[in-house]
Structure 1
Amino acid sequence: MVQTDRQVRLTILSFAMGAFAIGITEFAAMGLLPYYAADLGVSEPQAGHAVSAYAIGVVIGAPVLAVLGSYLPRKLLLILLMIYFAVTNIFTALASGLDSMVISRALAGLPHGAFLGIAMLLAAEMSPPGKKAAGVASVLMGLTVANIVGVPAAGAIGQYFGWRWCFVLVAVIAMGCAAMMARVAPRDTQDGPAVSPLRELSALASRAMWLALGVGAIGFGAVFAVYSYFSAALIDNGAPEWSIPLALSLFGVGATAGNYVAGRLANWSQFGGTLVLLLGMVATTLLYAAVMGNWVAMSLAVMALGLTAGIVIPIQMRLMEVAGNGKTLASALNHAAFNAGNAIGPWLSGLGLAAGYGWYITGLAGAVLALGGIVMLGFAWIDSRPRRGHAIPAQ
């Protein structure tokens, strides 16, 4: 189907709207952690299980829905994923205890990776040559804007009206996204052979794909190791309540700027850009640990950490090159990998907190994970080097 520039822009905007809803529910759940912990009568480390449950849902749902969904037109699949996402966020709003909260968060996480992965892939396909990374970045802009506007707004709603209304807001936005995609997205944006489960599963044979996913799973855990407990750390270190939404928005400001930078870095070098961002994670998580106790400095350090969050872009571009005929599955697995980091980061920080260490341990845990990502990136780079008798792989 021939697409006009306006249709392409509106379609990518609808994808970004879905990413906006996903960003609110993922990051606001961390920012609201002290409030639903108190309401449900559990400790903050216990409440962190809801954050990890969402991430586990993403890890499970991304590959399963990407493969099973290959039977459906991708436009229809994206619409159904958003409708399901809306319903499960309503379940979260109705949670009566920690168990139901954890289950509803796991269910809400199932469509996350498949939606973002397919939306980013379609955005790249719809973008002209040389601007595919920009198309991916445009979808992810929904996530970063969510951190500037949506998450602080949701945090304010949680403070003044109750944390449950945050998830009602997410459901409303998700339904709006589904309606917009139904109206503006073209029926078919796919070129080449028809998608099938077997074709998608062929990506699993790519060692380069698994190494790239490992970089995201380990390295990006650094961000979540800090961010998951950021609100609680601010409150415990004397930050006034009015400052919490502002501090959360600073992370979004950093992530939005970092999204633009990461797109440029991805065009320069997928491996080099990823390394730069991982080194930034090491530096900023250590800085966060060093300034613990000064809530203003902590907020600025987290804003700097947000600059590195665009690491998903160079990894996404790498996956699109090495996944062969399984690009949809690989793109979905990209978000599964990053949400594996979402589970690993809070878990590692939680271990340190439960052992009696101070809030600074979350920064040190983040630095360890970022260094682990650099090690994994080294293995991926070595694997990409040309071997005698083999063609030079794409970089």
Structure 2
Amino acid sequence: MKKSLIALSLGGLTIGITEFVMMGLLPDIASDMNVSIPVAGYLISAYALGVVIGAPLLVILGRNFPPKKMLLILALLLTLFNALSIIAPNYNFLFASRFLSGLPHGAFFGVGAVVASRLADRGKEAQAISIMFSGLTLANLIGVPIGTYIGHHFIWRYTFILIAIVGLLTFLFIFLWMPKLEKSGDVNMKTQLLFFKKTEAWLIIGITAIGFGGLFAWISYIAPLLINISGFLPENVSYILILAGFGMVVGNFVGGKLADKFSPAPTVFALLFIMVLDLIMVYFFSFNQYVSLFFTFLTGAISFSVIAPIQMLMIKTAKDSEMIASAALQASFNIGNALGAFLGGLPLAAGYSYASPNLIGVGMAIIGMIITFGLIQKQKTVLKLQTE
């Protein structure tokens, strides 16, 4: 494995911990800041808002920087903004620091995905991208449980010290291991923004924000599902979530291999179809603990297997605008995060069972399939016109 890709995966680890550890730290932060848990939950929204705004903005501002310099700047911002949470004297300061922490997230993955594809051996571009995203999956497998444990048993601020340390290591290893890649010529803002005039661009954004949102309809309410439907003890949920993290690790690498072997759009369609079947099974059979454990792993694997194919799909669609397109994709993932959590909560608010969010996830994945089918037909039409 190339050391440069390992450096990118460390960035994914930093981002994964800071994004997902907040779910486990909310009670500790709420108690320390003297706010309610729902108010503390706005810290998650602040981060997501930072991702959506920062992803295209920072890529546009740094569009003419060499890739290595851009990645170093983003790694430094990740470290500094997360370090602000260590010294946050009050809730408003922490809210602002969480918003700032989200700004480099999408830009790092956007630039990193394009760099990873350029560093890859021919025919293994998607696998290289999956290596970068392996940091995100390892965060769910190892980093988030460790960060949550530190926050529960010591002080939640120590968790952000851990994040800052990983961020510094990311900066160091990018500096040492990342080759100096030439920038792709001078690119002006108009050229970058022309990408958003493409129908294919909005179709891929829709697939990500809606179809991938099915994952978040599931994972946002997995704890009450495991406790109230599967019958697990609350203290065992954090250990079960490690199983989901392991599934994400496996699915991420499988998705990379599939995207290199098959065309990205049909691969995304097939994986969303499998996600539909999987979430239906979760809805009907989560009452059995053994089956529930199996599907916790499998759903994590299926969900993250979509990442590399859809990333390659976006890069191939965005000629001369790959970085802003890739960054926009990261913003779309976070829209899917918010959309899946919101829509998944509606049946719960109406009094339905804790398994019901999975049916919302089924509907979102089906819509994602429909949009993907439209994209495939669009690609066929374009190809036909080019050959005539």
TM-score when normalising by structure 1: 0.88
For the residues of structure 2 that align with 1:287 and 1:96, how far apart are their CA atoms? 46
| One-letter amino acid matched to 2:173 | M
Aligned to 1:300: 294
Note if 1:281 corresponds to 2:280: no
Note if 1:50 corresponds to 2:43: yes
Q: CA RMSD in A?
A: 2.7
SS at match of 1:391: helix
Aligned to 2:212: 220
In structure 2, stretches of 5+ residues that fail to align are none
2:266, 2:376 within 8 Å by CA — same for their partners in 1?
no
Aligned to 2:379: 384
Aligned to 2:311: 316
SS at match of 1:71: coil
2:66, 2:182 within 8 Å by CA — same for their partners in 1?
no
In structure 1, stretches of 5+ residues that fail to align are 1-5
Cα shift at 1:94: 4.7
Equivalent residues in 2 for 1:1-395, closer than 5 Å: 9-37=2-30, 46-95=39-88, 100-190=93-183, 192-231=184-223, 233-234=225-226, 239-240=232-233, 242-267=235-260, 268-292=262-286, 297-308=291-302, 309-386=304-381, 390-391=385-386
SS at match of 2:123: coil
For the residues of structure 2 that align with 1:87 and 1:130, how far apart are their CA atoms? 37
SS at match of 2:62: helix
1:45, 1:350 within 8 Å by CA — same for their partners in 2?
no
For the residues of structure 1 that align with 2:220 and 2:90, how far apart are their CA atoms? 20
For the residues of structure 2 that align with 1:374 and 1:387, how far apart are their CA atoms? 20
For the residues of structure 2 that align with 1:241 and 1:346, how far apart are their CA atoms? 20
1:51, 1:343 within 8 Å by CA — same for their partners in 2?
no
For the residues of structure 2 that align with 1:245 and 1:116, how far apart are their CA atoms? 27
For the residues of structure 1 that align with 2:305 and 2:47, how far apart are their CA atoms? 20
Distance 1:155 1:220, change over 3 A: same
The answer to which of 318-327 and 365-374 deviates more is: 365-374
Cα shift at 1:72: 2.3
Distance 1:103 1:234, change over 3 A: farther
For the residues of structure 2 that align with 1:239 and 1:70, how far apart are their CA atoms? 49
The answer to which of 120-129 and 155-164 deviates more is: 155-164
SS at match of 1:359: coil
For the residues of structure 1 that align with 2:381 and 2:189, how far apart are their CA atoms? 30
For the residues of structure 2 that align with 1:351 and 1:43, how far apart are their CA atoms? 21
| One-letter amino acid matched to 1:220 | F
1:30, 1:229 within 8 Å by CA — same for their partners in 2?
no
Cα shift at 1:145: 1.6
1:292, 1:359 within 8 Å by CA — same for their partners in 2?
no
Q: Deviations over 1:272-308 (max 9, x none)?
A: 2101221232233333333456666444322211112
TM-score when normalising by structure 2: 0.89
Distance 1:376 1:10, change over 3 A: same
Cα shift at 1:325: 0.8
1:85, 1:174 within 8 Å by CA — same for their partners in 2?
yes
Cα shift at 1:373: 1.1
For the residues of structure 2 that align with 1:236 and 1:92, how far apart are their CA atoms? 34
Distance 1:373 1:39, change over 3 A: farther
Q: Deviations over 1:93-139 (max 9, x none)?
A: 45566655544332211111110111111011111211111111111
Q: Deviations over 1:56-109 (max 9, x none)?
A: 221111111111111322212211212211222233445566655544332211
Distance 1:389 1:138, change over 3 A: closer
The answer to which of 253-262 and 353-362 deviates more is: 353-362
